[in-house]
Amino acid sequence: MRSLLLTFRRRSNSRPKTQPKQSPRSLRILLLVSSFNGLTQRVWCALRDQGHTVAVEFARDAESIADAARRADPELILCPFLKERVPTEVWQKWTTVIIHPGPVGDRGPSSLDWAITEGRSEWGVTALQAVEEMDAGPVWATRTFSIPIDPPTKSSLYNGPVTDAAMSCIEEVLAKISDPDFRPTPLERLAKTHVRPTMRQTDRAFSWDDPAEAIVRKIRAADGAPGVRTEIAGVGVWAFDAHIGPRQSDPPGTVVACRDGAVLVAAGTGSVWLGHLKSIPDDAERATNGVKLPAALVLGDHLPEGLTAPTPAAATVEHCGPGRIHYVRRGEVGYVILDCYNGALSTEGCNQALHVLRHAIRQDTLAIVLRGGSGPFCNGIDLNRIEATVSPANPAAEAWANITAINDVCRELIMCRSQVTIAAYSGSAGAGGVMLPLGADLVVARDGVVLNPFYEMGLTGSELHTYTLPRRVGPDAAKRLLSEKLPVGVAEAERLGMVDEVGPRDPGPFGNWLHEVALRYRDEALRERTLRRKANVLDRDLSVRPLDAYEARELGEMAQDMFDDRHGFDAARRAFVRKEPPTRTPARLALHRAPGFVRH
C-alpha cells in the first residue's frame, strides 16, 4: 500500500530528495549542552547527516563534564546551548567552541532579552572558543540578522533567525577545524566588548499606564521564560503571549474582554491581549500555581462578571491576537491554521481544530492545507493543562479527554475523501504532533525543522499512528523510530517517506511555496487521480482492519499509561511541566558512555 501512495507522489514531484552535505572528513564531536533543545537537536541531526560521530552530554557539574570529555576524547567540543561554565581542564585540552546568541563583543546571559527590549534592528550569533571568562574567547565565526520592527517573542527569535545563524556559524567552524593553519581571531581585535548583566524583573517591569506597544515589547522579550511579573484582576501573575489589542477607553489594567482563553487588558494607550499567564507560586491555594496556562483559566473567578468567550464560529475567521486555531481561505485553497502556543494542543484546542477542519472540508476549494503558525507546528497533547487539573483523579481523566480529542482530528484528516489534503510541518514537531499530519495525502516540511516521531513521558501514544506511520515508512522503520526515540531532520524524514517534499527555510517564501504546491491541484486529472487513489487505499486498508480497531488497540495501551501510571507518566509529566533539570544524559544520546564505545 505504501508503494501505491508514493508512486503517485514521486510522479508529481520531480525535485530530487534532499541529500546531506558532506564534510571534508568525519569528526568525533561532543555536544556539551544544558538541555537537548531545538537548536541542539537541529545541530545533532545535521552533524549525523554529514557523517560525524556525535555524542551528547548534559552539563550538570564540572566533574561529569570532565569525565565525558575524557571518555569521548573528541576532536571538537561544540556547545550550541550551554549556560554552565566549561571546566578549565576541558577547554585547555580539547578545542571547545561556544555558540553565543549575540554579535561579536556582546557578552552576558540575557543577550536576546536586551536586544528585543531595546528595539535593536540587527543582532547576531558568534562562535567563540571557550576560555576562563564567559563569552570572551577568540572568534571562530559570526553572523548577523535583522530583527523585525514588530517585536518577536524571544522564543521565536531564538528558534528562527538565531538558530539559522548558529547553523551557519557551525558549518564554518567545521570547515576550519580541519585546517591546521587556522587560528581564531582574538575578540579584542574585532570589537569592543559589552558585558550585559542578567536581566531582572526590575528591568522588565511595566505599568498598565504605559502604551500597549511598550508593554507587548517587554513581555515578548521574556517569552517563553521567565515572563514578566504583573497584577491582573487582583491576581499576581507572570505574563506571556502578548499581542496588541484594539483601542479602549477603560481604565488601564482593567480586563475588558475574554476570547479563547485569552484576556484583553486596557493599557495607557490601546490594549493588550494576553494569551497565557502563570500564577505567582506564593499563592499556595491556587490550583494553577506555577503552571503556564491560558490566561482566563489562571484568573478564573477573578475575572469580571459577564466576560464570556465568543461562539466557536469565531474560529473560522482570521483575526489578530490569541485564539489561534482558525480557517483562512486564500483563493482556491483553504488553510486550517494550528497556531498552538508552545505547540500544545489542549482538549478544547482539539475540539476547535475539529470544528475548523470540518468547516474546511465543506468548502469548494481545490485543497485543504493543515499547517502551523509562527512557532512549533505541534507537540501533541497539552501537558500543562493536564498537570493543572485540580484533584488527583482528574489529571488522568483530562489526559484521556485530550488524547481522544486529538484522535478525532487525526481521523477526520485520514477519512477526508472529498478534498485533497496537504499537511505542512511549518515548524518543528514532536510526539502526536508528528503523527497528526501523516494522514494527509501530501506531507511537506519547512527546511530545517526537526521531528521527534516517538512518544516519551511514560506514554505509548495514539493519534492513529499504528496505521499512518507504517503506511508511510514501512513497519520496520516505524518500529525503529518509535523505539530509538531519536530526532529526525527533514533530510532523513524525506528519505524515510515521512515527508514528501521540503520547502524553503524562510517562513515567507515557505508560505508562498506551500500555496504553489496546493495550486498544482488545479490540474483536474491530478486532483481526481489523487482522490481516487486515496479512496482505493482506504477501502482496501480499512476492509482488513477498520480505523476503530487501530484506535482501540492504541487507547487500550494509553489507558494503562494514564490511569494505572505503569510507565511513570505522572512523574515524567510533572518534571516536564515544572522544568526540572535532567539528572543524567539519556543513554541513547550519550554514546561515549556506552559499553564498547571506541574513540578512534
For the chain, which residues make up each domain, given as ranges? 2-199, 202-302, 312-577
Fold of 2-199: Rossmann fold (3.40.50)
DSSP SS3 for 265: strand
Helices (H) and strands (E) in the chain, counts: 21, 23
Q: How confident is the model at residue 308 (pLDDT cuts 50, 70, 90)?
A: low
pLDDT digits (tens, 9 = 90+) for 545-578: 999 999 999 999 999 999 999 999 999 999 999 8
Query: Measured in whole angstroms, how far is the alpha carbon of residue 525 from the centre of its chain?
Result: 37
Yes or no: say if 127 and 142 are a contact pair by the CB < 8 Å rule.
yes
Q: How far is CA 472 from CA 64, 416, 443, 476, in A?
A: 41, 17, 10, 11
* CA dist., res. 224 & res. 213, Å (int): 18
pLDDT at residue 383 above 50? yes
The pLDDT assigned to 433 comes to 98
The partner residues of 231 in beta bridges, in order of sequence, read 236
Yes or no: say if 426 and 446 are a contact pair by the CB < 8 Å rule.
yes
176, three cell numbers: 576550519
> What superfamily would CATH give domain 202-302?
Formyl transferase, C-terminal domain (3.10.25.10)
- Residue range 322-339: mean pLDDT, rounded: 90
* CA dist., res. 567 & res. 553, Å (int): 17
156, three cell numbers: 521565536
Q: How far is CA 444 from CA 8, 9, 37, 504, in A?
A: 15, 11, 23, 11
Residue identified by cell 559499553 is 595
Yes or no: say if 342 and 224 are a contact pair by the CB < 8 Å rule.
yes
Return the closest-CA partner of residue 127 out of 100, 94, 158, 95: 100
Single-letter amino acid, residue 430: G
Q: How confident is the model at residue 191 (pLDDT cuts 50, 70, 90)?
A: confident
* CA dist., res. 278 & res. 139, Å (int): 39
pLDDT at residue 315 above 80? no
pLDDT at residue 314 above 50? no
Residue identified by cell 488553510 is 335
Return the closest-CA partner of residue 104 out of 183, 32, 165: 165
- Residue range 311-321: mean pLDDT, rounded: 40
* CA dist., res. 72 & res. 77, Å (int): 10
* CA dist., res. 452 & res. 444, Å (int): 15
What sign results for the dihedral spanned by CA atoms 35, 39, 44, 45?
positive
The pLDDT assigned to 597 comes to 72
Yes or no: say if 237 and 231 are a contact pair by the CB < 8 Å rule.
yes
Mean pLDDT score of the chain, rounded to an integer? 91
The pLDDT assigned to 321 comes to 53
Q: What beta strand segments (E) does 149-227 contain?
A: 194-195
pLDDT digits (tens, 9 = 90+) for 23-79: 557 999 999 999 999 999 999 999 999 999 999 999 999 999 999 999 999 999 999
Q: What is the DSSP letter of 160?
A: I
What sign results for the dihedral spanned by CA atoms 155, 578, 344, 485?
positive
pLDDT at residue 503 above 80? yes
pLDDT digits (tens, 9 = 90+) for 439-488: 999 999 999 999 999 999 999 999 999 999 999 999 999 999 999 999 99
Q: 283-292, 377-386, 528-537: which range is least confident on average?
A: 283-292
The pLDDT assigned to 531 comes to 97
Yes or no: say if 561 and 459 are a contact pair by the CB < 8 Å rule.
yes
CATH (residue range 312-577): 3.90.226.10
Single-letter amino acid, residue 477: A
Yes or no: say if 396 and 342 are a contact pair by the CB < 8 Å rule.
no
* CA dist., res. 275 & res. 336, Å (int): 20
Yes or no: say if 521 and 12 are a contact pair by the CB < 8 Å rule.
no
- Residue range 83-92: mean pLDDT, rounded: 95
Q: Are strands 76-79 and 139-146 parallel, antiparallel or unpaired?
A: unpaired
* CA dist., res. 93 & res. 152, Å (int): 39
The pLDDT assigned to 393 comes to 60
Return the closest-CA partner of residue 79 out of 96, 55, 62, 94: 96
Buried b (16+ CB within 10 A) or exposed e, 288-298: bebbbbbbbbb
Residue partners of 300: CB distance under 8 A and separation at least 6: 288
CB-CB neighbours of 253 under 10 Å: 16
